[in-house]
Amino acid sequence: METTGDHSQEQTDLGADLLKWVEHERIGQLQTYSRGRMLFWQGETVEYVYLVKQGAVKIYSISQDGKSYAYGVVGAGGIVGLTSLLQCIAHESLAEVIEDTEVIAISAAEFNQLLCTERQFSLLVLKKLAQGLSLLASKARDAGLLDVQQRLKHRLVELARDHGSATDKGVKINLDLTHEEIATLVAANRSTITGLLNELKEQGFLWKEGRHLVIIPPVHIEILDELTRSVVNGEEDEAKKWASKAIDSGVEPTKALNALTSGMNLIDRMFNRNEIDVSDVILSAYAMKSAIPIIEDKIAKSRQKVHSIGRVVIGTVHGDIHDIGRTLVAMLLRARGFEVIDLGINVNCDDFIQATLKFKPDILAMSSLMTTSAQEQFKVIHALREAGLREDVKVIVGGGAITEKLKQQMGADGYEPTAHRAVELAWRLTHSS
Ligand code: B12
């Protein structure tokens, strides 16, 4: 490991102090490297230690079977090549410049000399070394405890902190990193990282501006993680607390809802692996339901009073008591300006028909989470035809049990897998001529 790269404000200051001292004493040689150049290769003798003045250097090693592992990206104030020098061994890793970079190169002999004679210099170097060690320890903990998605999020937050600049919506990571490079930083394979980055993009955690990634403010990521965690742990009070924090800190309400949904999906996976039982699932559902009104309230307050843009009758079909997903769809439809008549859970076929006759909705929306209850949607569409109502109303279907193929088989007008997209679907169906 060749880096003692910075990872906190204090650390950055420490790096700045070191740079200041070295420049003041006119130590070393200022050198400029363009992106793609190497400072050193694995196995080379240590000739210089580099103090990064600006830019970014990726430190990685290549194993005998050709796999590469990245230890980190060293930015301004970081030292490169130090650990090998101190151990009197050849470089154990490669140092590649990934942004145009300025370094102060100090020869190995001079660096050793300074360590023996300059107390302030030695102290700063020692502190940087200690910080590098604690960073390594936290990465080792991450690797053991966190799943790949959480590791990826942590690493993006670190990169944003060390190499980021604030924009009005988030933090831009000023590094041009390929998916392969991000994968090595997270110790995962490239295709997993590509999938996860796409997922994070879809959830609105990050987006691209030119060649650079922008992430939402790290504090928002932390709050959203806590929201997910409180649902997983089935903690109602915590879920309410973090939902309020999310709203107070300006987290977008839909992102907060997504974080709650991620918690329920994790719970489902744990349940399927027999790691928890149904009582835990119920506690998580309660936690999620307790947080929803706080977010709904925010959406309702920010909603401008507009004329209804369409009327929707929605319900969870007969035999199915799952109501969280449907509640979210109804809530976001209202937020978009639709008038929503929510029939609740376990709605039988006849009640859907009666509501269609009574409210004359533009859209009839049915939710179903179970394979068995999905059959009810076929029944309702058939009954609409029988009653001569099918041409008067658009039918949309959703919920975990529904797929695009099922939607086609039952002859519905639309299906979407998330509440957010359900709203876009409703808009398209009611506003395309
Ligand atoms: C929480 C939960 C429960 C809670 C429900 C609490 C409540 N008040 O809702 C409790 C514990 C009570 C429960 C009971 C049961 N459950 Co349950 N439950 C779940 C779980 C873990 C999460 C559901 C959830 O709330 N997800 C979060 C919400 C936000 O997601 P969602 O509902 O999918 O909605 C999203 C989208 O689908 C979409 N959407 C939803 N509706 C609509 C509608 C339209 C029109 C559109 C366009 C989009 C759309 O938008 C939403 C937001 O993005 C799921 C597993 C899962 N991952 O889905 C199992 C699950 C649905 N349950 C299941 C089962 C089997 C049951 C029980 C039969 C268990 C039992 N043996 O007793 C009973 C059912 C009783 C009944 N008759 O309904 C199975 C269904 C399997 C299947 N394919 O048939 C699942 C998939 C678990 C599993 N993996 O086996 N469950």
pLDDT, tens digit, 9 for 90 and up, residues 124-147: 999 989 888 877 776 666 665 567
Query: Where in 196-337 does DSSP place strands (E)?
Result: 206-209, 212-215, 311-316
Is residue 20 situated within a structural domain?
yes
Domain match, 34 and 98 both: yes
The yes-or-no verdict on residue 106 having pLDDT over 80 is: yes
Mean pLDDT along residues 378-401: 95
Mean pLDDT along residues 323-332: 87
Q: Nearest residue CA, atom 48 of ligand 1? A: 398
Q: Domain range for residue 407?
A: 311-431
Q: Nearest residue CA, atom 37 of ligand 1? A: 399
Q: How confident is the model at residue 303 (pLDDT cuts 50, 70, 90)?
A: low
Domain match, 62 and 125 both: yes
Within 10 angstroms of residue 207's Cβ, the number of other Cβ atoms is 13
Q: At what angle are helices 236-248 and 253-272 packed, to 10 degrees? A: 150
Measured CA to CA, the distance from residue 287 to residue 238 in angstroms comes to 8
Measured CA to CA, the distance from residue 134 to residue 8 in angstroms comes to 11
Domain match, 72 and 175 both: no
Tell me the DSSP string of 111-129: HHHHHHH-HHHHHHHHHHH
Task: Look at residues 92, 114, 145 and tell me which one is the last residue of a structural domain.
Answer: 145
Most confident of 80-84, 269-273, 333-337: 80-84
With residue 192 as reference, give the H or E element that holds it: helix 190-202
Chain centroid offset of residue 390 CA: 41
Average pLDDT, the chain: 88
Q: Which atom of ligand 1 is nearest to the CA of 322?
A: 9
For residue 238, what pLDDT is reported? Answer: 95
The yes-or-no verdict on residue 2 having pLDDT over 50 is: no
Mean pLDDT along residues 219-230: 91
Q: Nearest residue CA, atom 80 of ligand 1? A: 370
The yes-or-no verdict on residue 309 having pLDDT over 90 is: no
Most confident of 61-65, 184-188, 323-327, 408-412: 408-412
The yes-or-no verdict on residue 169 having pLDDT over 90 is: no
Domain match, 184 and 284 both: no
The yes-or-no verdict on residue 178 having pLDDT over 90 is: no
Is the C-beta atom of 426 inside 6 A of ligand 1?
no
Tell me the CA–centroid distance for residue 367 and ligand 1, in Å: 10
Q: Nearest residue CA, atom 16 of ligand 1? A: 322
Q: How confident is the model at residue 6 (pLDDT cuts 50, 70, 90)?
A: very low
For residue 211, what pLDDT is reported? Answer: 85
Q: Whose CA is closest to 190, among 55, 70, 97, 92?
A: 70
Say how many domains are in the chain: 4
Q: Nearest residue CA, atom 10 of ligand 1? A: 282
Query: Where in 306-362 does DSSP place strands (E)?
Result: 311-316, 339-342
Tell me the CA–centroid distance for residue 362 and ligand 1, in Å: 26
Is the C-beta atom of 340 inside 6 A of ligand 1?
no
How many residues are there in the chain? 433
For residue 429, what pLDDT is reported? Answer: 94
Is the C-beta atom of 419 inside 6 A of ligand 1?
yes
Is residue 1 situated within a structural domain?
no
Q: Nearest residue CA, atom 60 of ligand 1? A: 369
With residue 104 as reference, give the H or E element that holds it: strand 94-107
55's tokens: 């830019």
Measured CA to CA, the distance from residue 70 to residue 183 in angstroms comes to 9
Is the C-beta atom of 31 inside 6 A of ligand 1?
no
Q: Nearest residue CA, atom 26 of ligand 1? A: 264
Give 266 or 21, the one with higher predicted confidence: 21
Tell me the CA–centroid distance for residue 400 and ligand 1, in Å: 7
Q: How confident is the model at residue 432 (pLDDT cuts 50, 70, 90)?
A: confident
Contact call for residues 254 and 208 (beta carbons, < 8 A): no
Structure confidence by residue, pLDDT tens digits, 20-51: 999 999 999 999 999 999 999 999 999 999 99
Give 131 or 248, the one with higher predicted confidence: 248
Measured CA to CA, the distance from residue 336 to residue 207 in angstroms comes to 23
Is the C-beta atom of 135 inside 6 A of ligand 1?
no
Q: Is 313 left (phi over 0), alpha (psi -120 to 50) or beta?
A: beta
For residue 123, what pLDDT is reported? Answer: 93
The yes-or-no verdict on residue 344 having pLDDT over 60 is: yes
Percent of the chain with pLDDT over 90: 53
Q: How confident is the model at residue 311 (pLDDT cuts 50, 70, 90)?
A: very high
pTM of the model: 0.67
Contact call for residues 354 and 322 (beta carbons, < 8 A): no
Most confident of 116-125, 329-338, 418-427: 116-125
Is residue 235 situated within a structural domain?
yes
Domain match, 66 and 18 both: yes
Q: Which atom of ligand 1 is nearest to the CA of 278?
A: 11
Is the C-beta atom of 342 inside 6 A of ligand 1?
no
Q: What is the CATH classification number for the domain harbouring 29?
A: 2.60.120.10
Domain match, 154 and 140 both: no
Structure confidence by residue, pLDDT tens digits, 185-202: 887 888 889 999 998 888
Q: How confident is the model at residue 306 (pLDDT cuts 50, 70, 90)?
A: low
Mean pLDDT along residues 309-322: 95
Strand partners, 172: 165, 214
Tell me the CA–centroid distance for residue 182 and ligand 1, in Å: 34
Is the C-beta atom of 326 inside 6 A of ligand 1?
yes
Q: Which atom of ligand 1 is nearest to the CA of 414?
A: 47
Tell me the CA–centroid distance for residue 320 and ligand 1, in Å: 9
Task: Look at residues 271, 302, 333 and tell me which one is the last residue of a structural domain.
Answer: 302
Domain match, 138 and 23 both: yes
Task: Look at residues 199, 216, 233 and tell me which one is the last residue of a structural domain.
Answer: 216
Is the C-beta atom of 312 inside 6 A of ligand 1?
no
Domain match, 14 and 141 both: yes
Within 10 angstroms of residue 422's Cβ, the number of other Cβ atoms is 30
Residues 6+ apart with CB under 8 A from 386: none
